A and B are shown apart, each in its own frame.
Chain A
Amino acid sequence: MYRYDSIDQQIVDDRVAQFRDQTQRYLAGEIAEEEFLPLRLQNGLYVQRLAPMLRVCVPYGMLDTKQVRMLAHIARKYDKGYAHVTTRQNIQYNWPALEDVPDILADLASVEMHAIQTSGNCIRNFTADPFAGVALDEVMDPRPYCEVMRQWATFHPEFAFLPRKFKMAVCGSKSDRAAILVHDIGMALTTNDAGEIGFEVFVGGGLGRTPVIASLINSFVPEKDILTYLEAILRVYNLSGNRENKYKARIKILVRAMGAEAFAERVDQEWKHLKGSESTLTAEEIERMKSYFPTPDYREVASTADTEIESLRSEHQAFDRWLTRNTRDHRQPGYVSILLSLKPVGVPPGDVTAEQLDAIADLADKYSLGEVRTTHEQNMVLADVAKDQLFELWQDCKKLGFASPTIGTLNDMICCPGGDFCSLANAKSIPVAEALQRKFDDLDYLYDLGDLSLNISGCMNACGHHHVGHVGVLGVDKKGEEWYQIQLGGDQGKNASLAKVLGPSFSRDEVPEIIEKLLNHFVDNRIEGESFLEAYRRIGHDSFKAAAYA
């Protein structure tokens, strides 16, 4: 993975010193509250319902084990002993004290980490496929490009005070696991007829109050030109985005108002001036970045590993289940990727304790070349596991509580922190997730339902990505009370679709029952092999609606 050189290190160290000074001046009353706000936000610090919340950047989801151990240390020293994996692959702490944040940032900087631009109206973390570099369907590894872009976006002087936050994602594989179509800018790596590398660029996607699927505005931006092209888009947005009304300030509203074609033209006019400038990437820089993501030195795994696994599978049903749900094919023969489930029943989805973080680091050192990835579904990945170690790894995972064999099932819910922590929430989300997990805990039933994503957000800001869940649950406020709207038919990926609201909302107690009715309706009406989403699309929204309100 990428390693800082002395300049990268100096830049994050400078940032720590800057924020230490800003915090001191703020505490001394020299910076007004509203002026300190964007300064702390751009260092990841929110003030939440119960305490400040600190969001640490995990660039495109990549961590080494030294970093994971530091995250554990921070959880222990400055927080209540746990951390939370967010739906944008970052890590959040719910209980740090404002005065401690400069020290936390210094600790992070000591392992090449930071919290730069993890919130605020600026360019946020770039997200990517958690299986980058190992996925079978990968066309090109997105990580070198993500790192190029991360550096470009870090302290970009022109775009630190945008109309609103700005999120980008890059996909390098046939199926899109980075949800690029619901980002302000989504990029898909591709090649043209001449075999040159470039990007398809989609703009104006996003969830939140006004969910929109992004529009394609350029089908091939050569790799060397990507930074100037991004700069052109951002400049058009910075100058023309709505600054009066924060609900109309995202780029999606501008793109929609102008029309994607007219927007693309404006970008081209701007790009004309920037294209070919010094910011054009050099072949050496692209090579340099790629050199940080080499194919690892995989070892030869005995061909008997497969037969051994098969016999262990038949002996241990739980192992068999885990293999089926929690592993992914790998491009290297003899290897697989595995998902560590952070969704055991009774724990808020995505939460990990300091001890678990240390244990994950140990697992990664022992089984997966010392690297860990976070996923936007709030799990973690060990990307490079040799098949002859799978059984042992599974036993370790079981002991540590990461082996819930439920990845991709109803119980692998995406869930935002909601009303338990977040001051913007209309309703709690964690107790809803827990009630559902408890109700639907029978593994055979979950497997019979098949792939099913259920996403929960505590308000329309949609951190829980409820619009792109096959089933979405949204907390709403009705006369000061917590209610839940249910939506159906969303999906992420290359054919992303937005979920449609079922009808009037439900009380928290009713939610599990209604979900059960919807699931029964699916089971009763599906054709052999059909997934929930396929059945929904075939049978239709109204049929599910009738079942829910019957």
Chain B
Amino acid sequence: MPRIILDNSVVDDNWQLITESEQADVDISQLAEGNYLVPLSVWNSLVAELTTPPANIGLWLASTELPEQIQGSISEIPVLAIDFPAFADGRGFSIGRLLRERYGYKGQLRAIGKPIRDQLSYLVRCGFNAFDLAEHYDPEEALTSLKDFSDNYQGSVDQPIPLFRRRS
């Protein structure tokens, strides 16, 4: 079973990604068993049909998609993943912050695609708490990179009070 980092530890993960190309072949009735992350288009049509999709269905956003495009109640989404199609595509950092700070999303926010170990501290500060790192990173070893910095200047999701308001 794939292993991801969730809230500072490594856990088994059983959420399966339904990609854009697969979605055409997938019927919602086939998604009754298991846990699935579906693309935005599928999510939005589920919301149109059911208002609240079942709890085994989560959503993943492409780096070009914005929270404002999500239909229905964002807070009900069990797992919300943001794709980093390349690790250098930094849009996900803004999308993460928007979801947490503007949309008040409290559920699992997951970085997927190709995020790298050395982005972990930035990702945490932008509100991510789950990380499916690029394959060649050992998640156990990567845990240390969560603690690269002892403090930070800016206000961010994990510490909304900027350093200048905390200096004594």
By a beta-carbon cutoff of 8 Å, the part of chain A in contact with chain B is 5, 7, 10-11, 14-15, 17-18, 22, 31-32, 35, 38-39, 121, 148, 151-152, 154-163, 235, 238-239, 243, 273, 277-279, 281-282, 285, 288
B2 interfacial by beta-carbon distance below 8 Å: no
Task: Provide the residues of chain B in CB contact with A148, threshold 8 Å.
Answer: 164
Residue in B closest to A22 when the chains form the complex, CB atoms? B118
B150 interfacial by beta-carbon distance below 8 Å: yes
Indicate whether A159 sits within 8 Å of B121 (C-beta atoms), given known contacts A18-B148, A277-B155, A279-B155.
no
Task: Let me know if A278 and B126 touch, CB within 8 A.
Answer: no
Interface locus among B13-21, B22-30, B43-51, B87-95: B87-95
Task: Provide the residues of chain A in CB contact with B136, threshold 8 Å.
Answer: 32
Task: Let me know if B125 and A157 touch, CB within 8 A.
Answer: yes
A148–B162 Cα gap in the complex (Å)? 12
The 7 closest A-B pairs by CB, nearest first: A161-B90, A157-B125, A157-B122, A285-B164, A151-B153, A158-B93, A18-B148
Task: Let me know if A273 and B93 touch, CB within 8 A.
Answer: no
Indicate whether A238 sits within 8 Å of B90 (C-beta atoms), given known contacts A11-B153, A278-B155.
yes
Task: Provide the residues of chain A in CB contact with B162, threshold 8 Å.
Answer: 152, 278-279
Task: Provide the residues of chain B in CB contact with A7, threshold 8 Å.
Answer: 151, 163, 167
Smallest CB separation, B104 vs chain A (Å): 12
Query: Which of B94, B97, B151 is close to A11, meaning CB atoms less than 8 Å apart?
Result: B151
Indicate whether A151 sits within 8 Å of B164 (C-beta atoms), given known contacts A11-B151, A157-B121, A158-B126.
yes
A136–B160 Cα gap in the complex (Å)? 40
A288–B166 Cα gap in the complex (Å)? 13
Task: Let me know if B154 and A235 touch, CB within 8 A.
Answer: no
Smallest CB separation, B153 vs chain A (Å): 4
Task: Let me know if A10 and B150 touch, CB within 8 A.
Answer: yes
Indicate whether A238 sits within 8 Å of B121 (C-beta atoms), given known contacts A7-B167, A156-B154.
no
Task: Provide the residues of chain A in CB contact with B95, threshold 8 Å.
Answer: 239
A182–B115 Cα gap in the complex (Å)? 33
Task: Provide the residues of chain B in CB contact with A38, threshold 8 Å.
Answer: 88
Task: Let me know if A10 and B102 touch, CB within 8 A.
Answer: no
How many chain B residues touch A (Cβ–Cβ < 8 Å)?
36
Residue in B closest to A5 when the chains form the complex, CB atoms? B167
Given A15-B149, A31-B118, 17 other A-B contacts at CB below 8 A? A10-B151, A11-B150, A11-B151, A35-B118, A38-B88, A151-B153, A155-B153, A157-B93, A160-B90, A160-B93, A160-B119, A161-B90, A162-B90, A163-B90, A239-B66, A279-B154, A285-B164
Task: Provide the residues of chain B in CB contact with A161, threshold 8 Å.
Answer: 87-90, 93, 119
Task: Let me know if A159 and B148 touch, CB within 8 A.
Answer: no
Indicate whether A157 sits within 8 Å of B118 (C-beta atoms), given known contacts A7-B163, A239-B94.
no
Task: Let me know if A235 and B94 touch, CB within 8 A.
Answer: yes
Task: Let me know if A11 and B164 touch, CB within 8 A.
Answer: no
Smallest CB separation, A38 vs chain B (Å): 6
Smallest CB separation, B168 vs chain A (Å): 10
Task: Provide the residues of chain B in CB contact with A273, threshold 8 Å.
Answer: 102
B161 interfacial by beta-carbon distance below 8 Å: yes
Task: Provide the residues of chain B in CB contact with A151, threshold 8 Å.
Answer: 153, 163-164
Smallest CB separation, A429 vs chain B (Å): 30
Residue in B closest to A241 when the chains form the complex, CB atoms? B91
Smallest CB separation, A516 vs chain B (Å): 47
Smallest CB separation, B148 vs chain A (Å): 5
Task: Provide the residues of chain A in CB contact with B156, threshold 8 Å.
Answer: 157-158
Task: Provide the residues of chain B in CB contact with A277, threshold 8 Å.
Answer: 155, 160
Residue in A closest to B118 when the chains form the complex, CB atoms? A39
Among A5, A15, A161, A288, which residue has the most Cβ atoms of chain B within 10 A?
Answer: A161
A277–B121 Cα gap in the complex (Å)? 23
A17–B148 Cα gap in the complex (Å)? 8
A17–B119 Cα gap in the complex (Å)? 15
